Amino acid sequence: MASYKPTNIPVYPKLGEKVTEETLYWKNYKTPIQIKEFGAVSNIHFSPVTPYNFAVTAFTRIHLYGLLSQEPVKTFTRFKDTAYCGRFRSDGQLLVAGCEDSVVRLFDVSGKVALRMFKGHTKAVHVTDFTSDRYQILTGSDDYTCCLWDIPNSAQLNTYQEHTDYIRCGVTSQLNRDLFVTGSYDHSLKVFDARVDKSVMTINHGHPVESLLLYPSEGLLVSAGGRYVRVWDLLKGGQPLVSLKNHHKTVTCLALSSNGQRLLSGSLDRHVKVYNTTSYKVVHNFDYPAAILSLALAPEDESIVVGMTNSILSIKHRKPSEEAKETAGHQRRRPSYRVYAHRKSYVPKQDDYLVSKPVRQHLAKYDKQLKKFNVSKALDTALETWIRGRKPEITVAVIRELDRRGTLKNALAGRDEQELSRLLSFLIANLVDARFAPVLITAAEMILDIYQSIIGQSPVVDKQLLHLQSLLERELDYQKDLLEVLGMLDTMFASSLPKIELPCSGISTSNGLPQGQSTDVIFPYNKMQSRVFE
């Protein structure tokens, strides 16, 4: 039994930027929520425990936002001057922040007044963090020193005076309670061990260091400063692994996606770049309206929060995933499934003779029409606004199928002004597309043949034909230029590859010659390319 064979819709390679899984993943965010803060947003930090509130440090305040709230759920305002670096402890109970007035304050997340004040620095404190044992605090200040403090009795445990410029970033190790790394404007990163009185490792970044990041495994350290993001191997004694230069202004912040597979960097050039941590290639790029100062990712990458110099906080939430929607759909369908469940659960026994039921072929609308030989209607269906705009390849495939059957002329003929203008606008939109040109040019010629007698009678159609003509004119000019470029490339290839010298030199003069000749000539290159690209 011969069945109808549906129209083959060829899959064309996508133009422009390659759509990878990465881009799909990172594009799957809603439009950002923008919140105006009181000043430049200098730091964002996510609480490590549910409900994953995040602390936003801007000017003299720290706001706590819930993951989905647009209003701060809590505000810390007890700062005399600009606050810096509000960070949660690993249990999410305490929050520490530095301040321009050199006092470090420790807050209970549910309270309002500072639990402890650590006084001892002489200048602004830009770096604060908890050690992994939760009982100590690391601070780094503009007075070139970094200190360890004991939380219970707010005593200063240790002071390190090794940097020779402002300390602007630092992280503590999550695996070892004694290790921490600081980065300074003196271009250096220093790894300290609290058990020893001096740094155990010094790495030169080459630019004032703005941000630091430790991988969860803590074998790798990422530093950002100047236009560079650099990755260092700590286990090999600070050996440089990669240097990334993908920003054109200073990189100010770093973040790691929750599974540790992607690294994000934000910069004053208004971009956030996403890197693959195996190849260290940029896999995605976000644009923001102003210079970026801080960046944080929610657990599971549920949202991206970015703070900018124009005091705007931008929060992007991930769209609910497809799976969630599907499961919801399943739940709705379940009752009807139950009705038939007992029949389907029948397991054939050994002696049973199975007769397979023919699977009903599902045909698209245009295929149904084609199957019934309604050529005009098939074309109409394929020209529906949605298909025409979103999937021109379907329309083109239908036209090609009609052409193959030899009934394209019938399908095109006998149309009124509205339909004709729809056809023409489709041609105008897609005729210059190299993928569709061969099919559409035939169609265009047929349309001209059929309707040449009525040209000049409808202003709408005439206008479109004029438009088409000017488009063709442009395209021809363009292709003429392209042919010239082709000639240049020919010469260049010829000079770089002396092996294929003879045919090439003959050809490069034959620009604009009919198709047959030029393909012959270019053949060797094609071969070469296919070797290269496959």
54-93 residues in contact with other proteins (CB under 8 A) are 59-61, 77, 80
Q: How far is the CB of 48 from other proteins (least distance, A)?
A: 28
Segment 240 to 269, residues that bind other proteins, using CB under 8 A:
245-248, 267, 269
Structure tokens at 73: 């759920």
Tokens of 309: 């110099």
Considering only 497, 506, 509, 517, the residue that binds other proteins (CB under 8 A) is 497
163 binds other proteins (CB under 8 A): no
| 230 is a site residue for other proteins (CB under 8 A) | no
Does residue 279 interact with other proteins by CB under 8 A?
A: no
Query: CA dihedral in degrees (238, 239, 244, 248; nearest 10)?
Result: 60
Q: Which residues contact 292 (CB under 8 A, 6 or more apart)?
A: 252, 253, 266, 267, 268, 270, 271, 272, 306, 307, 308, 309
What b/e sequence results for 142-177 when a residue is b if at least 16 CB atoms lie within 10 Å of its CB, and e otherwise? bbbbbbbbebeebeeebebebbeebbbbbbbbeeeb
By CB under 8 A, is residue 289 in contact with other proteins? no
Helix, strand or coil for residue 344? helix
End-to-end CA distance of the chain: 39
- Binding to other proteins, residues 398-417 (CB under 8 A): 405, 407, 409-410, 413-417
Q: Does 457 bind other proteins (CB under 8 A)?
A: yes
Least separation in angstroms between CB 47 and other proteins: 23
Closest by CA to 137, choosing from 123, 122, 119, is 119
Number of residues that bind other proteins (CB under 8 A): 94
Examine residue 473 and tell whether it contacts other proteins (CB under 8 A).
yes
- Spatial separation of the C-alpha atoms in residues 295 and 273, rounded to whole Å: 11
Among positions 376, 384, 393, 403, the unique one binding other proteins when judged by CB under 8 A: 376
Which parts of 286-345 fold into alpha helices (H)?
322-344
Nearest distance from residue 107's CB to other proteins, in Å?
16
Q: Is 453 in the site for other proteins (CB under 8 A)?
A: yes
Stretch that binds other proteins, among 195-203, 215-223, 380-388, 482-490 (CB under 8 A): 482-490
Contact 167, 138 (CB under 8 A): no
Q: Is 310 in the site for other proteins (CB under 8 A)?
A: no
Q: Decide if residue 444 touches other proteins (CB under 8 A).
A: yes
**129: Cβ–Cβ under 8 A, 6 or more apart, which residues?**
85, 87, 96, 137, 138, 170, 171, 172, 180
Q: Which of residues 106-125 bind other proteins (CB under 8 A)?
A: none
Count of other CB atoms within 10 angstroms of residue 352: 9
| Out of 91, 484, 501, 520, the residue judged to bind other proteins by CB under 8 A | 484
For residue 523, the minimal CB distance to other proteins (Å) is 11
| Contacting residue, 111, 216, 438, 506, with other proteins by CB under 8 A | 438
